[in-house]
Amino acid sequence: MINKNNWSERINPVVRSIPPSGIRKFFDMATEMKGVISLGVGEPDFVTPWHIREGCIYSLEKGYTMYTSNQGLLELREEIARDLDITYGVTYDARRELLVTVGVSEGLDLSMRALICPGDEVLIPEPSYVSYAPATALAGGVPVTIATSVEEEFRLTADRVEKAITPRTKILLLCYPNNPTGAVLRRRDLLEIAEVVRDHDLIVISDEIYDKLTYIGSHTCFSSIPGMRDRTVLLNGFSKSYAMTGWRIGYAAGNSDFIGAMNKIHQYSILCAPITAQMAALEALKNGREGMRKMVQHYNRRRHLVMQAFKDMGIPCFEPGGAFYTFPDISSTGLTSEMFAEKLLMEEKVAVIPGNAFGPSGSGFVRCAYAASMEDLGEAFRRMSGFVKRNGVQSKIVVNL
């Protein structure tokens, strides 16, 4: 019997069962305090380059304020197809195989909703980006996590994928460079995973949002692996590589059946991505490569400094090959991830995210984003160094960024 005054009982039980994001909890705590340096949220500290903003302003002056086609401006889709062809040698038909979305977030939701039948299992390497499991559950699927470990540099192996497969497995989700660990996969890792995918007839959703932020070796796009293009939904966007988080623009590329199905949901729920953001994305693709490369160089410099800072503190940290995250092992402090993050915030006003917010295999770690200015990073690590010393780990040298 439903209690009429208990509104929460009327809410879909799947929605009720989803816990709030562990990232947001710390973000909200940090924003309510003064003087906090946040290494918490995964957002570029750069403002969108001026020529992209100007491109958008110019489009508004010219009166571009309408709906676009559901799939997005054809000119933008053609530019995306060109970019994927030049960068990875993988070709897509801009008219039938590309969909412009409201960020990768919408692409993720659409792909899950278009592909999952009730009870289908989705394999998710863990530690994992916080949206994957809820997006799976909301689409009626069952998230099945595959733990990765620091001993294996948080790389997903074909062997581990194989072991997690059951008769209900339908989708493998990939996210490399990875959030939260910064791990990257080598081409030969992907080739081995592709064999398992082929043998078990799986579909892959490949979230390539950090593809441009790769510092070790070159990134291989999963769709470019022989035989994988048609069984992969490639998701990407502009939030990270072009510092465009607030514009909410991304895209999905895949075979026309998948993209057509996703577009069906998109046309009834979203209609189309905002035209102003689409015009900005067009400018980013046409003229933004150089600016993007410069931002990547900055991230890489910060990555080296942050790695050195952890080394000096005596905190083991696996070297991330991509994205803008480090995932240090803080277990030597004797604190849990939650305690470390909470105490660091309260005592030193530095915000990091407890590793277990990304799944149980993140326990004993914290995620520190280095998408912050050198000054902020320097100050944050000076504070963290003092904190770590007080909590039992001896710094070898005074951190001097």
Under rule CB under 6 A, residue 179 binds ligand PLP:
yes
Among 26, 88, 129, 370, indicate the residue that binds ligand PLP (CB under 6 A). Answer: 129
Q: Are 36 and 349 in contact (CB under 8 A)?
A: yes
**Rounded Cα gap, residues 257 and 96, in angstroms:** 9
Is cis: bond before 127, omega within 30 of 0?
yes
Of the candidates 55, 103, 288, 359, which one interacts with ligand PLP according to CB under 6 A? 103
Burial (0-12, 13-18, 19+ Cβ within 10 Å), 379: middle
* Region from 8-16, 100-108, 159-167, 344-352 binding ligand PLP, contact rule CB under 6 A: 100-108
With contacts defined by CB under 6 A, name the span among 102-110, 286-294, 334-342, 372-380 that binds ligand PLP.
102-110
Q: Closer to ligand PLP at the Cβ: 205 or 388? A: 205
Backbone angles phi, psi at 155, to 5 degrees: -85, 140
Long-range contacts of 11-15 (CB under 8 A, 24+ apart): 14/137, 14/138, 14/140, 15/138
Q: Taking each helix axis as running N to C, give the angle between helix 374-390 and helix 337-348, from 0 to 180 degrees, rounded to the nearest 10.
A: 110
Q: By rule CB under 6 A, what string of x and - marks binding of each residue 44-83 to ligand PLP?
A: ----------------------------------------
Measured between alpha carbons, how far is residue 253 from residues 30, 119, 373 in Å? 37, 25, 34
> Closer to ligand PLP at the Cβ: 315 or 371?
371
Lay out the site mask for ligand PLP across 18-47 (x = CB under 6 A, - = otherwise): ------------------------x-----
Cβ 50 to ligand PLP, closest distance in Å? 21
Q: Indicate whether 111 belongs to the interface with ligand PLP (CB under 6 A).
A: no
* Tokens 């490569």, residue located: 289
Our measurement of the distance from residue 401's CA atom to the centroid of its chain's CA atoms, rounded to an integer in Å, reads 27
- Which one of 99-107, 262-270, 279-287, 329-337 is the stretch in contact with ligand PLP (CB under 6 A)? 99-107
Sign (positive/negative) of CA torsion 253, 206, 284, 275? positive
Burial status of residue 157 (CB atoms within 10 A of its CB: 0-12, 13-18, 19 or more): middle
Nearest-CB residue to ligand PLP?
103
Q: How far is the CB of 32 from ligand PLP (least distance, A)?
A: 22
Show the tokens assigned to 108: 């993720």
Pairing of strands 98-101, 250-253: antiparallel
Interface with ligand PLP in residues 191-250 (CB under 6 A): 207, 209, 237, 239, 245, 250
CB of 62 to ligand PLP, least distance (A): 26
Burial track 77-115 (b if 16+ CB lie within 10 A, e otherwise): bbbbbebbeeebebebebeebbbbbbbbbbbbbbbbbbb
* Cβ neighbours, 10 Å, residue 20: 10
Q: Contact letters (x/-) for ligand PLP, 139-178, by CB under 6 A? A: ------------------------------------x---
CB 147 within 8 A of CB 170: no
**In the bound complex, what is the minimum distance in angstroms from residue 106's beta carbon to ligand PLP?**
7
**CB of residue 312 vs ligand PLP: minimum separation in angstroms?**
28
| Number of residues in contact with ligand PLP under rule CB under 6 A | 13
Distance separating alpha carbons of residues 360 and 336, to the nearest angstrom:
12
377/305 Cα distance (integer angstroms): 9
Select 155 or 335, whichever has its Cβ closest to ligand PLP.
155
- Determine the interface stretch with ligand PLP among 55-63, 101-109, 358-366, 385-393 (rule: CB under 6 A): 101-109
- C-beta of 42 vs 321, nearer to ligand PLP: 42
Give the one residue of 104, 135, 284, 313 binding ligand PLP; rule: CB under 6 A: 104
Give the footprint of ligand PLP on residues 277-336 (CB under 6 A).
none
In the complex with ligand PLP, the residue whose CB is nearer, 179 or 333, is 179
- Only segment of 4-12, 85-93, 103-111, 220-228 that touches ligand PLP (CB under 6 A): 103-111
- Describe the crossing of helices 337-348 and 22-31 by its angle, rounded to 10 degrees: 10
Q: Which residues would be at the binding site for ligand PLP (CB under 6 A)?
A: 42, 103-105, 129, 175, 179, 207, 209, 237, 239, 245, 250
